[in-house]
């Protein structure tokens, strides 16, 4: 099974982002840079990927903005900076910032 590293995850107390519904194609590992070549940063570690050398890193804003208001305000005020370091570090053509519909 594929492992995906999660940093600053609001669901690190659970096996998944969908309460008690385990993913079937991968497994989350928390705060571990050695087990996976995929890194996902969440609201509680927005800048964590800044110094990462991973070519597969993402920022996923999965919480409701009413729950993480300071983090959402930070993203709104620093969006271009976040796009810049995610794009440059990944050397890819696209920016990897994902939001759930209720986080917008």
Domain total of the chain: 1
Q: What is the pLDDT of residues 22-31, one digit of tens each?
A: 888 888 899 9
pLDDT score, position 53: 80
Q: How buried is 82 (Cβ within 10 angstroms: 0-12 exposed, 13-18 middle, 19+ buried)?
A: buried
Q: What is the pLDDT of residues 48-76, one digit of tens each?
A: 888 888 878 888 887 777 788 888 888 88
Residue 7 has pLDDT above 90, yes or no: yes
For residue 85, what pLDDT band results from cuts at 50, 70 and 90?
low
Full domain range(s) for residue 35 = 2-103
Q: Are 5 and 48 in contact (CB under 8 A)?
A: no
Mean pLDDT, all residues of the chain: 77
């Amino acid at each position: 099974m594929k492992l995906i590293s999660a940093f600053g995850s609001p669901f690190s107390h659970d096996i998944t982002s969908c309460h008690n519904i385990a993913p079937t194609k991968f497994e989350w590992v928390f705060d571990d840079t050695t087990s996976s070549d995929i890194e996902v940063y969440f609201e509680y570690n927005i800048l964590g990927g800044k110094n990462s050398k991973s070519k597969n890193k993402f920022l996923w804003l999965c919480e409701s903005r009413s729950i993480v208001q300071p983090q959402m305000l930070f993203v709104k005020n620093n969006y271009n900076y976040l796009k810049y370091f995610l794009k440059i570090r990944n050397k890819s053509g696209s920016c990897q910032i994902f939001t759930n519909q209720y986080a917008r």
